């Protein structure tokens, strides 16, 4: 057996991580140590044990509120987590397996609430506070909550639940975190138990509830500990998260920052871009996480940074949706100290260090304990480096499934544990991942496949175009043709034919844009993802009006 393992290791390319024998890419980063899978352990206990074994200096702030300047130091943070867990357990009777719906704007209390619920073995299901009644109804149907946590402003949207609604902006909630009403009774939580139900964006279909287990989150944090090398930064890094905590990017960022003993700056109140940028200098923030629309807003009007000291920035993280290469290059020129800018949803692939951040267009390399395959969508054959295909992923991070939807789960998770991402990608000879497009969004022109992202990148490279998106347009002869929706810069007089000729000169004939419509704005969700269904409907209505 040892000889077989040695032979398998020898077939793994030391540069790309590709194993020619299995067609699988392996992570070349230092492996992370995971606790035995059968050991009862919640992600909260996993983190708190690390903080106990290697505590940050007691004067380190765990949380800072940007609106009030309030600081919660690490000793107070862990104490509040324990007090709140005990109170929820004793007063409300919340127990392992109970689902908790969270409907709240970003608050300094949210990270404390998350860790308390995780230590109880409760399932956290957060939602956008601006969700409509029908959206909330759908999410509650999926997660079946026993209790909800909301604010005075959002509580009215929540129906009657077994344990009611707890207002996190009330004096009573503050008391639950600070009063020691009794000792928290330790709960046995299996690592395979569901820890969170997070909702997919629903840009291409109905919203689904993604079940992530304690094991999933532990594996993500174990990877973070491994990449850091086991040594805490001194002084601890100060991080700012301007991404909602109900989104997987914001949720993971929040949990990870506190797990590493870093200071998490919480952007509360009405969002103000200039105020956030001033905060970077005032608190000497090293790492900031933003959604693409925020970075685009900065690039459109760089004057918002006037009077702001951004010299402390080391990493600018961008996730939730793709970011145009032209924007990335502009940001690099403006912020020469920044060593990382990446598009990531769960750090399956990630950028670590200056060298990796300089690879244009790459999403990084495989994180510890993960495997990947690039698969031919037609034949199911595993493909070698630098060959495009569908990205498959495998590892302890893979979700449990879509809650209440076995059919949708079976469609993306195969019997061997591989997760089909639906992304058209390739991994190059150096092990870097490049995302080309979504397979479902490919346009089928006379049997040829056209990637909208390639055309969008070309369109957005023009200085007279602010934004653009490309979708399929039905055609009797070709099946589908590429149709572009374009947002012109203010004052631009560019004509449709001029843009179409510009694209035609740079692509193969089958990729040419054959329809184009100017619109005021490209519809996107809160994370910056293009709502292609709306554009396809608009294209269809345009077709119907001509019939």
Q: Could you tell me the CATH number of the domain that includes residue 92?
A: 3.40.50.980
Q: What is the pLDDT of residue 340?
A: 33
Instruction: Indicate whether 434 and 372 sit together in one domain.
Output: yes
The domain boundary, picked from 229, 256, 272, lies at 229
Q: DSSP letters along 196-244, please?
A: EEEE---SSSS--EEEEEHHHHHHHHHHHHHHHTT---SSPPEEEE-S-
The reply to whether omega before 110 is within 30° of 0 (cis) is no
Structural domains of the chain, count: 3
Q: Whole-angstrom Cα distance, residue 38 to residue 476?
A: 57
Is the same domain home to 427 and 488?
Answer: no
- What pLDDT score was predicted for residue 217? 94
pLDDT at 482: 93
Domain end position, chosen among 438, 458, 474 = 438
Given 400, 421, 438, which residue is the final one in a domain? Answer: 438
Q: Is residue 340 a part of any domain in this protein?
A: no
Closest of 173, 10, 203 to residue 92, by C-alpha: 173
pLDDT string in tens for the chain (547-residue length): 344 444 445 689 999 999 999 999 999 888 888 999 999 999 999 999 999 998 999 999 999 999 899 999 999 999 999 999 999 999 999 999 999 999 999 999 999 999 999 999 999 999 989 888 888 998 999 999 999 999 999 999 999 999 999 999 999 999 999 998 877 788 899 999 999 999 875 545 567 899 999 999 999 898 888 877 655 566 789 999 888 888 888 899 999 999 999 999 998 888 788 888 889 889 999 888 887 778 777 777 778 788 888 888 887 777 666 666 667 767 766 664 432 332 223 567 877 777 787 787 788 888 888 899 999 988 989 999 999 999 999 988 888 888 988 888 888 888 898 988 888 899 999 999 988 777 778 888 887 778 888 898 899 889 899 899 999 898 878 888 999 999 999 888 899 999 999 999 998 888 999 999 999 999 987 667 788 888 988 887 765 445 4
Is the domain of 432 the same as that of 395? yes
Residue 112 · residue 77 · CB < 8 Å: yes
Domain that holds residue 124: 43-61+72-229
484 plus 419 within the same structural domain:
no
Residue 291 is predicted with a pLDDT of: 77
Supply the pLDDT for residue 542. Answer: 63
Pairing of strands 315-319, 365-366: unpaired
For residues 338 and 312, the answer to whether their CB atoms sit within 8 Å is no
Which of 83, 153, 139 lies closest to 116 in space, CA to CA? 83
Please answer whether residues 486 and 468 qualify as being in contact, where contact means their C-beta atoms are separated by less than 8 angstroms.
yes
**Can you give the pLDDT at residue 293?**
74
Pairing type for strands 238-241 and 371-375 reads unpaired
Same domain, 172 and 106: yes
Pair of tokens at residue 26: 């392996």
**Does some domain include residue 177?**
yes
In a domain, 324, yes or no: no
Residues 390 and 427 in one domain: yes
């Amino acid at each position: 057996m040892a000889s077989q393992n040695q032979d398998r290791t020898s077939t793994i390319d030391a540069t790309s991580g590709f194993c020619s024998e299995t067609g699988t890419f392996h992570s070349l980063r230092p492996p992370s140590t995971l606790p035995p899978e059968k050991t009862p352990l919640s992600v909260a206990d996993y983190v708190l044990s690390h903080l106990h074994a290697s505590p940050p200096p007691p004067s380190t702030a765990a949380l800072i509120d940007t609106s009030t300047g309030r600081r919660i130091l690490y000793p107070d943070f862990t104490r509040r987590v324990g007090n709140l867990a005990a109170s929820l357990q004793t007063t409300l009777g919340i127990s392992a397996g109970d689902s908790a719906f969270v409907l709240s704007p970003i608050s300094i209390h949210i990270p404390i609430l998350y860790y308390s619920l995780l230590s109880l073995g409760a399932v956290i299901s957060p939602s956008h506070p601006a969700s409509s009644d029908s959206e909330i109804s759908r999410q509650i149907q999926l997660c079946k909550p026993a209790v909800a946590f909301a604010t005075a402003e959002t509580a009215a949207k929540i129906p009657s639940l077994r344990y009611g609604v707890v207002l996190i902006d009330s004096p009573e909630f503050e008391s639950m975190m600070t009063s020691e009403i009794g000792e928290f009774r330790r709960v046995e939580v299996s690592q395979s138990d569901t820890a969170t139900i997070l909702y997919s964006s629903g840009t291409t279909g109905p919203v689904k509830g993604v079940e992530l287990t304690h094991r999933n989150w532990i594996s993500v944090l174990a990877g973070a500990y491994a990449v850091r090398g086991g040594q805490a930064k001194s002084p601890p890094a100060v991080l700012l998260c301007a991404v909602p905590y109900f989104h997987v990017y914001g949720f993971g960022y929040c949990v990870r920052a506190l797990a590493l003993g870093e200071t998490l700056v919480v952007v509360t109140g009405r969002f103000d871009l200039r105020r956030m940028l001033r905060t970077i200098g005032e608190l000497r923030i090293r790492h900031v996480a933003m959604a693409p629309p925020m970075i685009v807003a900065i690039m459109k009007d760089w004057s918002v940074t006037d009077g702001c000291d951004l010299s402390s920035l080391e990493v600018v993280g961008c996730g939730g949706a793709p970011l145009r290469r032209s924007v990335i290059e502009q940001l690099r020129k403006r912020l020469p100290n920044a060593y990382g800018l990446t598009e990531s949803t769960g750090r399956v692939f990630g950028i670590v260090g200056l060298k990796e951040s300089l690879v244009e267009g790459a999403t990084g390399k495989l994180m510890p304990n993960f495997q990947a395959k690039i698969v031919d969508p037609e034949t199911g054959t595993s493909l070698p480096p630098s060959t495009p295909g569908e990205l498959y992923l495998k590892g302890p991070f893979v979700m449990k499934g879509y809650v209440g939807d076995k059919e949708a789960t079976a469609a993306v998770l195969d019997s061997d544990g591989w997760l089909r991402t639906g992304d058209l990608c390739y991994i190059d000879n150096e092990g870097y991942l490049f995302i080309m497009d979504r397979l479902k969004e490919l346009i089928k022109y006379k049997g040829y496949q056209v990637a909208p992202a390639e055309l969008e990148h070309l369109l957005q490279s023009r200085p007279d175009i602010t934004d653009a998106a490309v979708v399929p347009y039905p055609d009797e002869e070709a099946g589908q043709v590429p149709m572009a929706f374009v947002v012109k810069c203010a004052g631009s007089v560019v004509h449709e034919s001029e843009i179409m000729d510009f694209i035609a000169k740079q692509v193969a004939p089958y990729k040419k844009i054959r329809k184009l419509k100017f619109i005021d704005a490209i519809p996107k969700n809160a994370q910056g993802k293009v709502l292609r269904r709306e554009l396809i409907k608009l294209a269809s209505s345009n077709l119907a009006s001509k019939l």
